[in-house]
Amino acid sequence: MNLNEIKGIGPKTIEHLNKLNIYNIDSLIRYYPYRYNIFTPSKIDETTSAESTIIIPGKIVSEPKISYIKRNFNKVSFQFETEETIINVSIFNRAFLARNLKVGKFVTVIGKYNKINNQFVAADILLYKLISTKVEPVYHISSGISVKTISKCIMNALEKCPHVREVIPKYINDKYKFLDTYSSIKEIHYPSNTNTLKQARLKLIYEELFEFMFKINLIKYKNQIFDDFIIKELTKNDLQEILNKIPFSLTTDQIDAINDILKDFKNLKRMNRLILGDVGSGKTIVSFIAILLNKKAGFQSALLAPTEVLATQHLNNFTNLFKDIKVGLLVGSLTKKEKENILVKLKNNEIDLLIGTHAMLEDNVEFANIGLVITDEQHRFGVNQRKSLQNKGNKVDVLYMSATPIPRTYALTIYGDMDISYIKEKPAGRKDIITKQYKFKDIKKAVETIEDELKLGYQAYVVAPLIESEEDNELKDLKNIEEILTSNFKGKYQIGTLHGKMKQVEKDRVMNKFKNGEINLLLSTTVIEVGVDVKNATIMTIFNAERFGLATLHQLRGRVGRSSLQSKCLLISDKDTERLSVMENSNDGFYISECDFKLRGSGDLFGVKQSGEMTFKIADIRRDYKILLQCKKDTEEFILNNIETNFRDYENFQEILNDVINS
Ligand code: ADP
Ligand code: MG
């Protein structure tokens, strides 16, 4: 059902909803609050302290007075009768509230009470009398749409479609005595009390994690039962020949990973392997070797990258190292003609390796003889894509690379369908990146440190967080930082800017200039986060570093230190958080991820906020890890109990779930 079929939603509202990624009824009713205000009425008595915020219902007993103290500074005050006494209430900068405040009206004031002068300074006023505890949802909103409107839209949507699909099997719902999905969603938006709200959340979290683990376990299960897979005929000698062409010696972990892959190639089962390595540990070369082995066995390969910049980087690196293999590039920016040309060659087996972005997942991309698909920065793609890659053929081995090191136990669960090779060691000669926090008042020193590197001919990254909250004046946005940089470096060094709102071709142009050295300093939002390899860049500066999760900080820092040059990382922040000191004290991604899980501050999950597979609407893998484990168990059992349904014939997960649940 479309949004415009719901009462009260017109074209303007639809526009605003779209900005919040709400495009249909399902995404509307599942636009969950990110937190709740819990209001509990209290009393003024001898235990009331001047420090704590209290919530007092009562009646306005004097005509509210507005005084304009200064420009942009006003005060509304009135006398207020509570159950026990009469107090003087004032609230600042809310003159607009006054028209709703009349003598005799019952309202609830929230704020602090000073007994000595009988003054109550309100931070907020609820325009009704709070009788019992009330739980009020808070939503992320964008300008142009209010919480009230969203809440109303959701209410109307729920009324219009009183049936929501259940995701989990009935016997499981019964076993845990869960609420049904419809009631849970309703409760999430219109909580009746904290207890029921808890139950509703639990149901929706379980449901989300069940679906996730179901997909993973189904892939695992299918890979186990289909053993009519082709064996790639390869010898140790084939591998040695390839290794001889590589200009550096590989680390032990890299060699181990390659041997794992070779073993998989020669096995009757489909390879479904994840290379989990720290940033800069050299995963790419491992995948290149896999490609060469696969070619020796007589098959084509595909290498999928999340961005065009990365795809092009892989192309250049590959062709620099290995000449006798035919490589094609398939990315969105190609002309129709260029694309067709590539597709024809691919089908005629005139291309050994296709490197590209999402574009190559499309159905019209047909290979003559594909035997290996590799996904770089795997965490950026979803579980569904894991499947669509395998579908390219029954000779297709699949290899994933991920630079988000996560603790082993978590990896075993969320990558439960894959075998994992770990690359922990860094290539020989790499130095730890010297990391230091600077306060804003010391920004001059930081700028000098950056200039020291630029003077030597090296390049610099500067990262600024996006503006997320408008109230936060402290936040130095891109523009402010740009000013600091240009005032210091203008005329001396070339500065380039990169942010998410730019068109892809624009971004690529700036990025390429940086790679060529035409730009000395690259100012960017986190769009540079993934995979970029510029060896001459030796200093990374991150503004408002406290805003980023540990995983993101580590990823960002990993853009430097990619050669034997000593690199530096400057964290600009006025806050002394434990995360920042973890960064100062360690360069080890696996250790840092352990800390990340322990500290579990707000922020991103594994630093992969935009990732396809780990953006849950309500679940949090770390917080809800116990539920995740339960889902792992329950989905395994569910699959085993339904073997006779033969999952082999189903095309998509949803179909299976629907069918099994309704049968
Ligand atoms: P990541 O694991 O972050 O994807 P890359 O694969 O981009 O890292 O490798 C980082 C850099 O290290 C690349 O420039 C690569 O050529 C280089 N490299 C990889 N392995 C080695 C090695 N064993 N010795 C020296 N340099 C290496
Ligand atoms: Mg990489």
In the Cβ-directed half-sphere of 248, how many Cα atoms lie within 13 Å? 14
pLDDT digits (tens, 9 = 90+) for 507-562: 888 988 999 999 999 998 776 656 678 999 999 999 989 888 888 899 899 999 98
Q: Is 220 exposed, middle or buried (0-12, 13-18, 19+ CB in 10 A)?
A: middle
For position 653, what pLDDT does the model report?
58
Nearest to 541 by CA among 583, 501, 509, 506: 583
Which region among 102-116, 450-464, 538-552 has the lowest average model confidence (pLDDT)? 538-552
Q: Which of 88, 124, 120, 86 minimizes the C-alpha distance to 107?
A: 124
What are the pLDDT digits (tens) for 128-142? 999 998 888 988 887
Mean pLDDT (the chain) is: 86
Q: How wide is the angle at C-alpha 466 spanned by C-alphas 283 and 504, nearest 5°?
A: 60
Q: Give the global pTM.
A: 0.77
Q: Given this model, what pLDDT does residue 645 score?
A: 62
Percent of the chain with pLDDT over 90: 52
Q: Which of 570, 493, 573 is nearest to 539 (CA)?
A: 570
Give yes or no for residue 277 CB within 6 A of ligand 1.
yes
Distance of CA 281 from the midpoint of ligand 2 (Å): 8
Mean pLDDT of 325-354: 94
Question: pLDDT tens, 576-629?
Answer: 889 999 999 999 998 998 888 777 643 443 333 333 345 688 988 878 888 999
At 444 the three-state DSSP class reads helix
Cα of 165 vs centre of ligand 2, distance in Å, is 39
Judge contact between 589 and 550, C-beta under 8 A: no
Residue 282 CB less than 6 A away from ligand 1: yes
Q: Is residue 647's pLDDT more than 60?
A: no
- Contact (CB, 8 A) for 537 and 461: yes
Q: Which ligand is nearest to the CA of 252?
A: 1
Residues 423 and 251 sit within 8 Å (Cβ to Cβ) = yes
Pocket test for ligand 1, best of 284, 315, 590 (most atoms within 8 A of CB): 284
